Amino acid sequence: MQIRKEYTADLEKLEVDVLKMGELSKESAKNAINALVHRDMELAAKILKENVTIDNLEFDIERRCIKLIALQQPTAVDLRTIGTCMKIITDFDRISDLAGDIARIVLRIADEPFVKPLIDIPRMSEISQGMIFDCLKAFSDRDIKALDDFSARDDVIDALFDQVRRELMTITIEKPRGIENASHLLFVALHLERVGDHACNIASRIVYMVTGENRKFE
């Protein structure tokens, strides 16, 4: 009985830390765009430092997942939960890495004027932030209704990325001197497009955890 209580407590703590990692990753992605919009070099540097914490948390969670599987031999829902934890922390880590890539761009361009107003990029960020938030809530509540439209939301992000790409290509043709700045903004948009993809991956794993169904969002 005592062993079972310890197992239940370990599993609950595991889920708490997965949610913590997801929230940290979400905040990193959000802060990266805030740093870009507001030219906040200090915030950009902070993102890079906090990525170390997220990396360490990923390794710790993975180690505990392996330990639970090896020692407790979970079955059914518990096994799906632990497997989902191991999968989605990789996506959360990648989201934080993409935030770090954006932060490095912020530090690189400093106060250099943007070749185009930041309209679509913040919108891409807003949509992806909402997707991550809904993933975390679905994981916590075991309610996947908010995930049903993820493919549609990801399509909007993809469309915004294509629009940014086309506009930046046109700008570089008309103003060749702005090619470096345009390239930086293009990479920011690309990183945000990838954040949306990772949110879709997370959503798919949560659906599997809750229902056992293999549903692909893309």
CATH of the domain at 94: 1.20.58.220
Residue 27 lies in a domain: yes
Residue 50 lies in a domain: yes
Predicted pLDDT of residue 208: 97
**What domain range includes position 97?**
2-211
What is the domain count for the chain? 1
Residue 179 lies in a domain: yes
Average pLDDT, consecutive stretches of 10 residues, N- to C-terminus, the chain (218 residues): 80 97 98 97 97 96 95 90 97 98 96 93 98 98 97 98 96 90 97 98 98 93
DSSP assignment of the chain:
-HHHHHHHHHHHHHHHHHHHHHHHHHHHHHHHHHHHHHT-HHHHHHHHHHHHHHHHHHHHHHHHHHHHHHHH---HHHHHHHHHHHHHHHHHHHHHHHHHHHHHHHHHHTTPPPSS-SSHHHHHHHHHHHHHHHHHHHHHHT--GGGTTHHHHHHHHHHHHHHHHHHHHHHHHH-GGGHHHHHHHHHHHHHHHHHHHHHHHHHHHHHHHHH-------
Residue 15 lies in a domain: yes
Residue 218 lies in a domain: no
Contacting residues for 93 by C-beta, under 8 A, at least 6 apart: 21, 25, 54, 55, 58
N-terminal to C-terminal alpha carbon distance within the chain: 44
Residue 13 lies in a domain: yes
Residue 145 lies in a domain: yes
State the amino acid at position 168 in one-letter form. Answer: L
